[in-house]
Amino acid sequence: MKDFENSLDTMLEKAFKTISNGVENTKSYFHTPTVCTFEGQDISARTVVLREFNEQERILRFHTDQRSPKIFQIRENNIATVHAYDQEEKIQIRLKGSIEIHHQDSITKNAWKNTREMSKECYSVKDSPSKEIDNPVEFDIDKNQIDREMGYENFAVNLFTFQYLEILYLKRSGHRRAMFKWDNDEIKKNWLIP
């Protein structure tokens, strides 16, 4: 996409393309963005795999173990920020929105059906993620012993919907930074000083 930095509309288009590319392209930095949520008064950040991007609805899909602390934290406060920086593209994207958790419903069923066998294994770990333990070896997954389908009961889908997108493009001749804010069907767009 050439000269996308010259208009707000093409900046947004580029941002959407960059996020989209992160779904299938495992080499893209947007394949593993950072999701930040509240942990009481603290902020918690972690890497997750981007599974789907619905451009129309501005929804990013992530998977997680429903026993993990972040699920409880998000249920308390679902405000979230997603961030990634692509070193090759020299593009940083920041998204602000909220997360909806799904567990054992049509959304998780569909996502589980399309989850690779290897990824399903993670959900069969015998205790909750983040639990303090003495010996990590005890928690290694024995691939021959587990019934991968049992992991479904621990499988959760996080749907992150954003209302704010900011893109920063680093360019020798002059950086470009722009913000986009959605309010129902209205969209406010503006350049920002980089």
Ligand X SMILES: Cc1cc2nc3c(=O)[nH]c(=O)nc-3n(C[C@H](O)[C@H](O)[C@H](O)COP(=O)(O)O)c2cc1C
The residues facing 91 across adjacent strands are 86, 169
Q: Tell whether residue 94 is a contact of ligand X (CB under 6 A).
A: no
Other C-beta atoms closer than 10 Å to the C-beta of 46 total 13
Backbone angles phi, psi at 140, to 5 degrees: -65, 145
* Rounded Cα gap, residues 96 and 65, in angstroms: 23
**Taking CB under 6 A as the criterion, which residues in 106-165 touch ligand X?**
129-130
Q: 51 or 58: whose CB is closer to ligand X? A: 51
CB 185 within 8 A of CB 177: no
Q: Tell whether residue 32 is a contact of ligand X (CB under 6 A).
A: yes
Question: Which of 10, 68, 98, 163 forms a contact with ligand X (CB under 6 A)?
Answer: 68
What would the x/- binding string for ligand X be over residues 48 to 67, using CB under 6 A? xx------------xxx---
H or E element in which residue 135 lies = none
Q: 46 or 90: whose CB is closer to ligand X? A: 46
Residues that bind ligand X (CB under 6 A): 32, 44, 46-49, 62-64, 68-70, 129-130
